[in-house]
Amino acid sequence: ISHYATCECLSDKKKYPSFLRTIPSDYHQSRALAELVKHFGWTWVGALRTDDDYGNSGMATFSKVAEQLGVCLEYSLPFFRTYSQEKVLRIVEQIKTSTSRVIVAFLAHWDLEILLHVFFEHNITGYQWVGTEGWISDSAVATQDKHNVLQGAIGLAIPKTKVVGLKDFILDINPLKSAGSEIFIKFWEAMFKCKYRTQNDSVDINVCTGNEKLSDIENTFTDMSLLPVFNNVYKGVYAVAHTLHDLLDCKQMCPTKKQPDPLTAQEPDCLLHSTMEQPELQVDGDLIIGGIFSFRTGQDGYIDTFRSMPEVRPCRDLSLREFQNAQTMVFAIEEINNRTDILPGVKLGYKIYDSCGSVEMAIRASLSLVNDHGENTTLLSCSNPETVKAIIAETSSTPTIAISATMGPLLIPVISHFATCACLSDKKKYPSFFRTVPSDYYQSRALAKLVKHFGWTWVGALCSDNDYGNNGMNNFISAAKEEGVCVEFSEAFFRTDPREKIRRIVEIIKTATSKVIVAFISYSDMEVLLKEVALQNITGFQWIGSESWISDMNIATAEWQPILKGSMGFAIPKAQINGLGEFLTKLNSASNVELYKRLWETIFECKLPTQDNIEIKKMCKGNEKLSEVQNPFTDVSELQIANNVYKAVYALAYALHNSYGCSKRDSEKGGATVCTNLGDTQQPWQIVNELKKLHFTTTSGEDVFFDENGDPAARFDLQAFRWTRIMMFAVEEINKDDILLPDITLGYKILDSCASPSNVLRAALTL
């Protein structure tokens, strides 16, 4: 229960099923502010917002409603208290040169205080400020020295209220007698700028007597004008109490309350409160590596009512590409276990979970991996659970951000193979995060330079409406501006958006004057967009793509050729992993692993026999061969993402190797390499430290290391769209046709021209 978190996003019960609050959602405040602005006839305004969930979400809603009401925004600028002085001055300069005289400020009070200080220094006045509850009634903001800046400001505030006895209670603090007195002593010393004397203190300090009176000072602690916020805390506590009262069926007494007996009094601290789902794939070992992949691509959404024990929502749509990534992790672990130069005498095991592409499921999986207590947990086994040493996750940025934020405080290493959001390079937020795929910081800038190189200075922009797309597109727009490239439009969407929104975006593309589209879009979102573009028969655009879709097999089909012809972008370099192809195709239908059975049924479009499906027409025979099918699971021709998984596993293995002292020679064992520290419990931070220092070379000759942000060296291939794949597909399809060219088999020879005229001629002569 929150007393002051107003972001509209928190009303999503699918994402936050157990969240409640005692303060209204910004859904209402954003709309009310737009109505307020329109009421006074202010139809040309500027906007400022705190650059966080509160400000960005609130301003997005305000902008949308304002547009509907006929209010136009001249500018909408983000701001955060940690911005550099240069950036703050740039924002202030943009406001000074604007023509609108009304500023709608969706800001937290401490962000506004910093802005006001700059406004006051530069004597910038004469603006009509419209504020949110975050600052409009804050006493620290409403000070006399800033009055000339904010004169006439209006906005919406939480209603005032009175809690009987609260003021006296707040002011009646005895720091030496209060519960948790240490924090009250620190509070008292800060409040009165004094120190309680200790043996080490100097004689000259201002000593606290304990008789100081809080009622004699005025500050944000004693200020009762903040009572509306205090009241929300008060209501939150009472909401919990009333809920417990009803839950325990309390009347005059609470009938289920019992006095502790000796057994319950000695109840161990380690108590199993619930069990977690089992991993999709699991093998025991001396050291366990966790994995989280989106085997399935979605869930059937519904909202928990909490009238019964909530169940995990079932997943759907098996992803063959993700299955290949997970199997690459298994392959790498088995390969390492068969080597004697890495972790000698140590068997690596794994536990791999399915996140279903859901943030909630990703967090559940990560918590399961680091808190692995089974139903037979005892007090003795509680202190030494079989937790994982590190986690490999995930294929997209948003769930990876959630996992890394959860694991960061525990300093458990997380290595991602395809989460590219530049935001993940922030070591303050994600101290234990690493990745084997380059940050979008580099790709965004490379795309801007690519566009400028070809003289395309007037472009449109599309992005996925998630962390990957929004962050990447923001970086691209900034870099494009530096290169002199102008962006006509920038639109964000997500694959689950209503078709009406997708059609609106396609309509914007149709009516735009720019003929170049930069698409920072995930492959699954791109498929949704292309279907609508194809329906409206829109062609003739030059598409510039990010790595997620520019080299994706599902996009590179003849179906999209008329739309995407000539597309280009940056792709992760191709790679080969010796032995992986044979490993992937050796799976068979006799496996006892449920996930392998689902894979078999998906690939061969049949059902394995069970007692319940005897009457199903197409049964799996069991002798089908994976080596005879070509799909994203069996295709090992490029292995861009799978190679990143492979490198991530080896990075962890080398880090564990060094952490457990496996580089030393044992004289008693003929000088063989052994792990001398295997009996010691290595703390997660020690493994993080080894990852930071790591530098090794793969069998294919690729150097692997991480910079100070946990990022690898940035390497990209400039890739024209893969029409070679379409040619190969068409030839193979014709060869299967009994009518077209019967009894004749077509072959092909494809050469790389490297975009060089001389190479084109050389290739033509060779053919």
Contacts of 622 (CB under 8 A, 6+ apart): 588, 589, 590, 608
Q: Is it the case that residue 123 has pLDDT exceeding 90?
A: no
Q: What pLDDT, on the 0 to 100 scale, is given for residue 679?
A: 66
Q: What mean pLDDT comes out for the span 709-718?
A: 85
Q: What pLDDT, on the 0 to 100 scale, is given for residue 617?
A: 65
Q: Is it the case that residue 140 has pLDDT exceeding 90?
A: no
Q: Is it the case that residue 223 has pLDDT exceeding 70?
A: yes
pLDDT band at residue 406 using 50, 70 and 90 as cut-offs:
very high
Express each pLDDT in 566-618 by its tens digit. Answer: 889 988 888 899 999 999 999 888 888 888 998 999 999 898 887 565 666 68
Q: Is it the case that residue 719 has pLDDT exceeding 80?
A: no
Q: Percentage of the chain surpassing pLDDT 90?
A: 47
Q: What pLDDT, on the 0 to 100 scale, is given for residue 178?
A: 61
Q: What pLDDT, on the 0 to 100 scale, is given for residue 205?
A: 77
User: From the CB of residue 290, how many other CB atoms can be counted at a distance below 10 Å?
Assistant: 28
Q: Which range has the worst mean pLDDT, 300-304, 406-410, 449-453, 549-553?
A: 300-304
User: From the CB of residue 281, how many other CB atoms can be counted at a distance below 10 Å?
Assistant: 20
Mean pLDDT over the full length of the chain: 85
Q: Is it the case that residue 682 has pLDDT exceeding 90?
A: no
Q: What pLDDT, on the 0 to 100 scale, is given for residue 266?
A: 42
pLDDT band at residue 146 using 50, 70 and 90 as cut-offs:
low
pLDDT band at residue 404 using 50, 70 and 90 as cut-offs:
very high
Q: Which residue has better confidence, 276 or 603?
A: 603
**DSSP code string of 255-322:** TT--PPPHHHHT--S------PPPPSEEE--SEEEEEEE-SEEEE------SSS---PPPEEEE-HHH
693 three-class SS: helix
Q: What mean pLDDT comes out for the span 222-250?
A: 82
Q: Which residue has better confidence, 177 or 237?
A: 237
Backbone angles phi, psi at 255, to 5 degrees: -65, -25
Q: What mean pLDDT comes out for the span 390-400?
A: 93
- Strands 348-354, 516-520: parallel, antiparallel or unpaired by DSSP? unpaired
Express each pLDDT in 692-709 by its tens digit. Answer: 999 999 988 889 999 999
Strand order in the sheet with 287-293: 281-283, 348-354, 287-293, 390-392, 414-416, 433-435
| Alpha carbon distance 446, 544 (integer Å) | 11
CA neighbor of 293 nearest in space, from 369, 240, 370, 353? 353
Residue type present at position 110: W
635 three-class SS: coil
Tokens of 450: 């690519």
DSSP 100: -
- Strands 695-697, 703-705: parallel, antiparallel or unpaired by DSSP? antiparallel
| Alpha carbon distance 234, 222 (integer Å) | 17
Q: What pLDDT, on the 0 to 100 scale, is given for residue 583?
A: 95
Q: What pLDDT, on the 0 to 100 scale, is given for residue 528?
A: 92
Asked whether 465 and 474 are in contact (CB, 8 A), the reply is: no
Q: Is it the case that residue 261 has pLDDT exceeding 50?
A: no
Express each pLDDT in 747-760 by its tens digit. Answer: 878 776 655 556 66
Q: What pLDDT, on the 0 to 100 scale, is given for residue 246?
A: 83
| Alpha carbon distance 546, 541 (integer Å) | 16
Q: Is it the case that residue 174 has pLDDT exceeding 90?
A: no
Through-space distance between the first and last CA atoms of the chain, rounded to whole angstroms = 71
Q: Is it the case that residue 191 has pLDDT exceeding 70?
A: yes
Contacts of 96 (CB under 8 A, 6+ apart): 122, 124
Q: Percentage of the chain surpassing pLDDT 70?
A: 86
Express each pLDDT in 486-530 by its tens digit. Answer: 999 999 999 888 899 999 999 999 999 999 999 999 988 999 999
Q: Rounded to two decimals, what is the model's pTM?
A: 0.76
Q: What pLDDT, on the 0 to 100 scale, is given for residue 484?
A: 95
Express each pLDDT in 21-49 by its tens digit. Answer: 999 999 999 999 999 999 999 999 999 99
Q: Which residue has better confidence, 371 or 425?
A: 425
Characterise 710 by phi-psi region: left (phi > 0), alpha (psi -120 to 50), beta (else): left
Q: What pLDDT, on the 0 to 100 scale, is given for residue 267?
A: 46
Q: Is it the case that residue 653 has pLDDT exceeding 90?
A: yes
Q: Is it the case that residue 374 has pLDDT exceeding 60?
A: no
CA neighbor of 439 nearest in space, from 523, 522, 547, 358? 547
Q: What pLDDT, on the 0 to 100 scale, is given for residue 616?
A: 66
Q: What mean pLDDT comes out for the span 420-435?
A: 94
- The full length of the chain comes to 767
Residue type present at position 53: D
Express each pLDDT in 60-114 by its tens digit. Answer: 899 989 999 999 999 999 999 988 888 899 999 999 999 999 999 999 988 998 9
**DSSP code string of 33-90:** HHHHHHHTT--EEEEEEESSHHHHHHHHHHHHHHHHTTPEEEEEEEE-TT--HHHHHH
Q: Is it the case that residue 323 has pLDDT exceeding 50?
A: yes
Q: What pLDDT, on the 0 to 100 scale, is given for residue 412?
A: 95
Asked whether 489 and 433 are in contact (CB, 8 A), the reply is: no
CA neighbor of 462 nearest in space, from 396, 552, 530? 530
pLDDT band at residue 199 using 50, 70 and 90 as cut-offs:
low
Q: What pLDDT, on the 0 to 100 scale, is given for residue 144?
A: 54
pLDDT band at residue 407 using 50, 70 and 90 as cut-offs:
very high
Rg (CA), the chain: 31
pLDDT band at residue 641 using 50, 70 and 90 as cut-offs:
very high
The residues that bridge with 532 in the sheet, in sequence order, are none
| Alpha carbon distance 760, 766 (integer Å) | 10
| Alpha carbon distance 446, 568 (integer Å) | 12
List, as own/partner pairs, every contact residues 619-623 make where C-beta atoms lie below 8 angstroms and the sequence separation is at least 24, other chains included.
620/589, 622/588, 622/589, 622/590
Q: What pLDDT, on the 0 to 100 scale, is given for residue 380?
A: 45
Q: What pLDDT, on the 0 to 100 scale, is given for residue 283?
A: 94
Asked whether 716 and 444 are in contact (CB, 8 A), the reply is: no
| Alpha carbon distance 113, 681 (integer Å) | 48
Give all domains of the chain, ordered by start, each with its CATH number. Answer: 8-155 (3.40.50.2300), 281-438+639-705 (3.40.50.2300), 440-570 (3.40.50.2300), 723-766 (no CATH)
Q: Which residue has better confidence, 137 or 140?
A: 137
